Structure formats: structure tokens, C-alpha cells
Amino acid sequence: MDYMERYSEWLAKANEDATISEELLAVKGDNDAIYDRFYTTLKFGTAGLRGVLGAGTNRMNIYVVRQATQGLANYIKNNIGSGAVAITHDSRINSDVFMNEAARVLAASGLKVYITTELQPTPVLSYLVRNLGCVAGIMVTASHNPAKYNGYKVYGSDGCQMTDVAAGMVYDEIQNLDMFDDIKLCDFDEAIKNGSIEYVADSVYDSYVAEVEKRQVNIDACKGSDLNIVYTPLNGAGNKLVRRVLGEIGVENLHIVKEQELPDGNFTTCPFPNPELKEALQKGLELCEEVKADLLLATDPDSDRVSIAARRNDGTYRLYTGNEIGAMLTEYILSSRKALGNLPEKPVVVKTIVTTKIIKAICDKYGCEMRDCLTGFKYIGEIILGLEEKGEEDRFVFGFEESCGYLSGSYVRDKDAVVASQLICEMAAYYKKQGKSLVDVIDGIYAEYGHYLNTTLDFYFEGATGMEKMKNILDTLRANAPASIAGEKVVAISDYLTHEAKDLLTGAVEHIDLPTSNVLAYTTESGNCAIVRPSGTEPKIKIYITAIAKNFDDAHAVTDKIAADMKGYLE
């Protein structure tokens, strides 16, 4: 079926949602608009679905959600047999609608469904799957994407995002379904009455909060610290639980950014609600100036990521990268637990391959094993699972990725901005009692371990040809690797698609024992590095740059040279 045939089918059958019907009629006769909506289907993968809201097979809407959910239901019935599925959602447009539609499909397929009465953070979904003994979970979110996006992430019974193999099997099931004729649906209200769809009890959230609070390192550090905090949930799901946890651990001076306090899928004051971006933090920084806060805390819409800014001695604010927050937390947790005598034997810290190399130096100081994994928190979750299967889950101390995702403890298997917010505030309070700000802390880390500058560049490839162009760029780089970057000879290339790490000086080739991923890493003779990775959720290629130097002026100069060279390969 070509794109115009799909469009005609939708005109005839997609009549349950008035906004979809109106959009279909509005693009009638506009070939480009029709093509963009129907030339392909949103592909289900390990990151689930993610796309622009609207009409068509290449958009997020109730029909695409129903088809994906029917594919998931068929996968469960054919491979597991039966079981329950937990579903929740964030604040995005239609997130609650998509949750209810998914629940209708699953219940009609004979599966028990747990849903939430209101939006919840992504880590809560991971916790629900584990706590309620579910075989799968669905989180309706597009994380930090602009307001026009929504998405749908699927989790396995371990609380991790679905594996490559399982996602491939679900995708195959989806491909065998007619989007309209093969979908089972039940009446939502009737399903609530007969118990096939059930709301999660408040006691479950209480137990989640209890697990979060067990991850305190220096208990009562916040009490009496006079720590002054501004918090913004960026109109997302973190508002209630983050505030509850901070209140219960002793944070007394907490100011909320009112414009970003309540759920708002339009993200009116932060059109790109990514806490890594200064623009998203502007309202929070303004309130910090007003109340002279020590710390700005910002969680993204589904509250699995958190970023911060800390007050300098001159009253201005320093924004931190995800790598810097992770480095401070790693140092804080390891040093404190060692001092307290409760650091486990053979502790493990996990980071992704694109995350700062300074973590290795910190781990070495405290006799901690550091493990690398592919980008994506599910890979950190898999390492935790491997430890759990050996009865060694207590060895897992901390895990994080450079994009502001952190986890302490094994109670969930995804990054958790609630526990990260708790640890960040506890860390800030702990150091404040010693007369140190977080600015002092990060400066001390660089003074001790060296100046590691980590920079991420994003290159977008929108439209129908974007994904193909991205593939061609990676294929070209793989076939014609750069001999030098920033005036330095490339001495090592790691290809995570072929699982080969080549030492270009000796010719030695080592096997990379990680799952397959279309990622290329280039290391120069002085240890600087550029990693090229296409995003799994957006039409963009990311380049992760590491520059190591005696000071940040030199590191910035090296970064600029690496960026200029790598940009040339993407144009």
C-alpha cells in the first residue's frame, strides 16, 4: 500500500478523533503534506515509539498507539501466555488519552492492566512493573522533546526498557496487524468495573518513596543546613514526588517556579523542555536571583532526568553538565560511604561509553570497579540485573549517563530524577555545612583529577530523507575513517557495529563485548576523543567530544578544533 492509498484508507476509517479527521481533510490535495504523514510508519524499537502528534502512520495518534499495543498484547500472549501490564503517562498532550487507549486494547486481549489516576515519573513506571509483578509496562512520554511530540516506551518484567530481541518480536507482531480491522477494544468504564483495568493504590507510591529515601548517604544532612533551593518540574511529572521526598529528608527552603509548577503539555514558558538547555532553565534562574538560592534543580517532563545550577560567590549561577553532576555524585557517594564504612566489597559504578572518562579516575581512587555500557539506561539496568542474578546487587553503587540521567539502588531499572534530586540536595547540604558550595566541589574535582571537557553536538536531519542521510553519513565514516582530528593523529577506532576496537599504532584488534550499536569512536594520540552516534529517538546525529588538557582554556581550544573537523564529515 503506497502513501496515497494509506491516506484514502484513513479518510474512510479514522473517524473516532475529530482532530485527526480535521487534519486529514485539511491536507487534502497537498501531496507533500500527505507524503510526510504516510510515507512510512513510526517504527517500534527498544525506545518504543516517538513522533510528532497528528494524523497518519508517521505520527503519534490513537490508531498508531492501538496498533502498537495490540502488537505488544499478541507478543505477550504468544510468548509469555498471560500476566499484567502497568501503564502511566507524563504531562504531554494526549498522554492520558494514549494510556487509556492502550489499556482498552490490553484488557480486550485478556490481560490485566494497572493504570495511574494521574501523571507519574518514568521511574515510577519501572517500579510499578517490578512491585506489581507485571510482565510488561508502558510509559507514555516523549521525554524532553518539544511539545509537538509524544511517545510510548515499553518495559520488560525486570523494569528495564525492552531488549532488542523482544522489541524486534513486538515489531513483527505489529507489522502483521491491520491498523483498523485487527485491533481489539473494550469499553473503558466497563473494564474498570469488572477489574480488568485497575487503578494503582496509593500505598504503592508510598513504598516507592520509601525505597528512594533508603538511598540517602549522609542521613539528616539537609536538616539544619539552611539550604536554599529553587525547583522547577518544567510543567512535568516530577512536581509531587520530588517535593514530597525533599520535604521528608529535611529540605526547608524550597521555592517552586510557579509558571512551570503544574502540568502543561504546551510547555508555554519552555518550548524545548530539556533541562540540559539554559533556555529551559531561564525561569528558574530568574527565581534564583530573586530569592538568592544556593541551588536550582530542574527535572524534565517525565522526571527521569535532572539538571542543576549553583550559586557562585559573586551571586551569579553556574550551570552544570550531566557529566559534571555525575562526577560530583560519584565522588560524594564513594567518599562518604567509604568514610561511613558501608561501601560494599567490590563496589560497581556504571556509565555509558559517551560519558566522561573522569569517572574512571574517581573510581580508581576508591577501589571501585567502573563498567562501561552502550548509550541507553536499559544497558545500565542489564548490568544491575546481572549482579542481581548473582546475588550481588548491593555491589551496584551508582550509574549514570551524560544526558543528566542517574540512579542509585536497584529498586528501579531506569534513570530516576526523584532519587537524583534527593542525592543532589543532600550533597549540596553536606558540603554547605563544610563551608563549600557545589562550585567549590567541581573545581576541587578538576584540580585533583584533571580538566576533562565533555561537549555534545547535535546535527538534525529532518524530513523524509533525514534517516537515510544519517545512515549514509555513518556508512561513509566507517568506510573512510579520519586519519587525524584537530591536528592530531587518530590512534584508535572503536566500531560498536562490528564489535572491533583497533589500535592503529600496533594493528591489534580487540573484541568489544557489548550489544551491537551503530556507533563509531575515534581517539587521538593525546587521549582526546570524538564519538559519533545517531540518536535512537530523534532524527539527529550526536557527536560526543572529550578534550583533556591542563586547563579549560586549552580544553576549549581543542574542543573547537575537534568540532570543526567532525562537522565537516556531517555536511
pLDDT above 90 coverage of the chain, percent: 91
For residues 445-457, one letter each, b for 16 or more C-beta atoms within 10 angstroms of the residue's C-beta and e for the rest, the string is bbeebebbbbbbb
pLDDT digits 0-9 by tens, 221-257 = 999 999 999 999 999 999 999 999 999 999 999 999 9
Q: Compute the Cα dihedral for 462, 375, 320, 280 and give only its sign.
A: positive
Q: Which residue has the cell 504531554?
A: 92
Q: Residue 295 in contact with residue 227, Cβ under 8 Å? A: yes
Report the pLDDT averaged over residues 106-133.
98
Q: Closest by alpha carbon to 160, among 513, 432, 364, 415?
A: 415
Output the nine-digit C-alpha cell for 18: 475529530
Average per-residue pLDDT for the chain: 95
The whole-angstrom separation of Cα 234 and Cα 224 is: 28
Residue type, 184: K
Q: Residue 327 in contact with residue 342, Cβ under 8 Å? A: no
Report the pLDDT averaged over residues 341-354.
96
Q: Residue 45 in 3-state DSSP?
A: strand
pLDDT digits 0-9 by tens, 21-36 = 999 999 999 999 999 9
pLDDT digits 0-9 by tens, 463-514 = 767 888 888 899 999 999 999 999 999 999 999 999 999 999 999 999 999 8
Cα-based distances in Å from 374 to 22, 31, 76, 218, 427: 42, 40, 27, 31, 28
pLDDT at position 471 is 87
pLDDT digits 0-9 by tens, 304-319 = 999 999 999 999 999 9
Count of residues in the chain? 571
How sure is the predictor about 569, in pLDDT bands with cuts at 50, 70 and 90?
A: confident
pLDDT at position 536 is 67
The whole-angstrom separation of Cα 71 and Cα 183 is: 9
Query: CA 169: distance to chain centroid?
Result: 23
Report the pLDDT averaged over residues 252-275.
96
Catalytic sites, residue numbers: 143
The reply to whether domains 60-200 and 210-449 share a CATH topology is: yes
Q: Closest by alpha carbon to 373, among 347, 396, 350, 404?
A: 350
The whole-angstrom separation of Cα 262 and Cα 175 is: 38
Report the pLDDT averaged over residues 407-427.
97
How sure is the predictor about 539, in pLDDT bands with cuts at 50, 70 and 90?
A: confident
pLDDT at position 148 is 96
Higher-pLDDT residue of 121, 48 = 121
- C-beta neighbour count of 404 within 10 angstroms: 27
pLDDT at position 462 is 80
pLDDT at position 15 is 94
For residues 219-243, one letter each, b for 16 or more C-beta atoms within 10 angstroms of the residue's C-beta and e for the rest, the string is eebbeebebbbbbbbbbbbbbbbbb
pLDDT digits 0-9 by tens, 179-229 = 999 999 999 999 999 999 999 999 999 999 999 999 999 999 999 999 999
Query: CA 162: distance to chain centroid?
Result: 14
The whole-angstrom separation of Cα 488 and Cα 467 is: 31
Residue 271 has pLDDT above 90, yes or no: no
The whole-angstrom separation of Cα 439 and Cα 316 is: 11
Q: Residue 337 in contact with residue 331, Cβ under 8 Å? A: no
**In the chain, domain spans:** 60-200, 210-449, 451-570
Report the pLDDT averaged over residues 532-538.
80
The strand pairing partners of 489, in sequence order, are 484
Which one is the CATH code of 60-200: 3.90.1150.150, 3.10.20.70, 3.40.120.10, 3.30.750.24? Answer: 3.40.120.10
Which one is the CATH code of 210-449: 3.40.50.740, 3.40.120.10, 3.40.50.1010, 3.40.50.10490? Answer: 3.40.120.10
How sure is the predictor about 69, in pLDDT bands with cuts at 50, 70 and 90?
A: very high
Q: Specify the long-range contacts of residues 246-249, CB closer than 8 Å, at least 24 apart.
A: 246/222, 246/421, 246/422, 246/425, 248/209, 248/213, 249/213, 249/216, 249/222, 249/223, 249/422, 249/425, 249/426
Cα-based distances in Å from 348 to 315, 369, 378, 399: 37, 5, 16, 9
How sure is the predictor about 537, in pLDDT bands with cuts at 50, 70 and 90?
A: low
Report the pLDDT averaged over residues 344-370.
96
pLDDT above 70 coverage of the chain, percent: 99
pTM, 2 dp: 0.92
pLDDT at position 376 is 87
Q: Residue 490 in 3-state DSSP?
A: strand
CATH topology of domain 451-570: TATA-Binding Protein (3.30.310)
Output the nine-digit C-alpha cell for 204: 504503592
Q: Residue 380 in contact with residue 401, Cβ under 8 Å? A: yes
**47 DSSP assignment:** T
The whole-angstrom separation of Cα 501 and Cα 515 is: 14
pLDDT at position 163 is 86
Contacts of 283 (CB under 8 A, 6+ apart): 232, 257, 259, 260, 269, 270
Q: Closest by alpha carbon to 145, among 75, 50, 226?
A: 50
pLDDT at position 394 is 95
